[in-house]
Amino acid sequence: MVSLLHIALIVVLALAAIPVAVLLVQTLAALRQMRVTSIATNWRPSVAVLVPAHNEAQGIAATIAAIREQLRDGDRILIVADNCTDETVAMALAAGAPVLERINLEQRGKGYALDYGVQHLANSPPEVVLMIDADCQLLEGSIDKLACLAMTTQRPVQALDLMQAKKNAGLKMRIAEFAWIVKNHVRPLGFLRLGLPCQLMGTGMAFPWNLIESAGLANGNLAEDMQLGIEMARKNAAPIFCPDACVISYFPVGEEAARMQRTRWEHGHISMILQHGLPLLIQGFRRGDRMLIAMALDMCVPPVALLTLVTLALFIGAAIACFTFDWIGPLVLAGFNLLALTLAVLLAWQRFGRHVVSLNDLFSTVTYVFWKLPLYLKFLVSRQVEWVRAKRDAD
């Protein structure tokens, strides 16, 4: 019985080492200096920008203005006002954007809105479709870069998607911003420099029309972006990261709004790991497809807070087993996992996160990690399965 427990602990630690190793490899690759290849934008394909919006009256005008500044002759913008009960439609029209209204209280979620917009565009399809969330600011030149790269590679292209804490935000929100940088900047940048794909992030996405016209968008999955990226990868069109294009949004200030947002994101991510991680990895090995294998491994890296919780818990468990049964092997392996995770986080902070949190703040992440424990426990007993919009600050 003791020997079986010993073997089981080693197996669990070995499995836990996989996402830690992936994160460390991505971080080390992101630190590499590479020659920058400019994207020619003198000519680019025609573009339609889809903006799904559910009760986004507060910020829709600013988003539309930033998009319209980057449009060229022949381009279009289309707002899909999905089950809106506020002034989103009026504000969008006043900002000069055409609006497509969708009312369906049974089928809720961004995937349904995007599918509705793509069906409308099929009457006169563009060469490239861009998808931008209604609460995002698109940085100058991003449309040109995304559209040209999507057309050139005939693959989905993902812009750098950053969420920032408001000025004078508290420590928890700034640590959340750093965690977002690790997830959406460091990790995909590392894989880009290794010639590997990235996950789709839900906004700042560009698709050649022939890929998006038949995509399975109409679903209420909390992680519809990751699911779409997997679908594209299985069609030999794995998404590619474009850090030269960028969309920026802001974390909500209110505690309840922030909690709702985190729950939706992280429950969706964990569900994707459990449902698709192993099948996608097996499919990748069967096909000999390194792109599918890379996407599966990347998807199986959980949020940094959860990965830290698991790594710490396993280290403590291995230490108890060492003192109880004199099992040195599991403790050594658990120690390596903890050291590798710490190294990855410190390297990511040194290059990409010093402007967000100080080193002293970084050592306070343990408090942040345990603060998120109820969110992960809720996944076990009452996981969120339906899309719910997080309240904005002015709601």
Map out the domains of the chain as residue ranges: 2-31+303-363, 47-279
The secondary structure of 144-167 as a DSSP string is HHHHHHHHHHTS-EEEEEEEEPPT
Q: Which residues contact 132 (CB under 8 A, 6 or more apart)?
A: 49, 50, 51, 63, 67, 138, 203, 204, 247
Closest Cα to residue 87, out of 78, 71, 72, 99? 99
Domain 47-279 matching CATH 3.10.580.10: the answer reads: no
pLDDT of residue 209: 98
pLDDT of residue 303: 87
Residue environment code for 281-314, b if the CB has 16+ CB neighbours within 10 A, otherwise e: bebbeeeebebbbbbbbbbbbbbbbbbbbbbbeb
Radius of gyration of the chain (CA): 22
d(CA 45, CA 49): 12
d(CA 353, CA 339): 19
Assess contact for 150 and 206: CB atoms under 8 A. yes
φ and ψ of 159, to 5 deg? -75, 165
pLDDT of residue 265: 64
Mean pLDDT in consecutive groups of 10 residues from the start of the chain, 395 residues: 83 96 98 69 90 94 96 96 95 96 90 95 97 94 96 97 89 90 97 96 96 88 84 95 96 65 69 86 96 95 90 95 92 97 96 93 76 72 56 53
Helix/strand/coil percentages in the chain, nearest 5: 55, 10, 35
Assess contact for 185 and 243: CB atoms under 8 A. yes
d(CA 199, CA 58): 29
pLDDT of residue 57: 93
pLDDT of residue 243: 96
- pTM value is 0.90
pLDDT of residue 262: 64
Half-sphere exposure of 369 (CA within 13 A, CB side): 18
Q: What is the DSSP letter of 124?
A: S
Which tokens in the block code for residue 113?
Answer: 């809105």
Which tokens in the block code for residue 246?
Answer: 């960028």
Q: What is the DSSP letter of 243?
A: E
d(CA 313, CA 318): 9
pLDDT of residue 221: 72
* Longest CA pairwise span in the chain (Å): 73
Residue environment code for 107-146, b if the CB has 16+ CB neighbours within 10 A, otherwise e: bbbbbbbbbbbbebbeeeebbbbbbbbbbbbbbeebbbbb
Burial, 152: exposed, middle or buried (Cβ in 10 Å; 0-12, 13-18, 19+)?
A: middle
pLDDT of residue 337: 97
pLDDT of residue 259: 60
CA 219 remoteness from chain centre:
18
Instruction: State the residue for tokens 């030269």.
Output: 244
Q: What is the DSSP letter of 196?
A: -
pLDDT of residue 106: 87
pLDDT of residue 263: 66
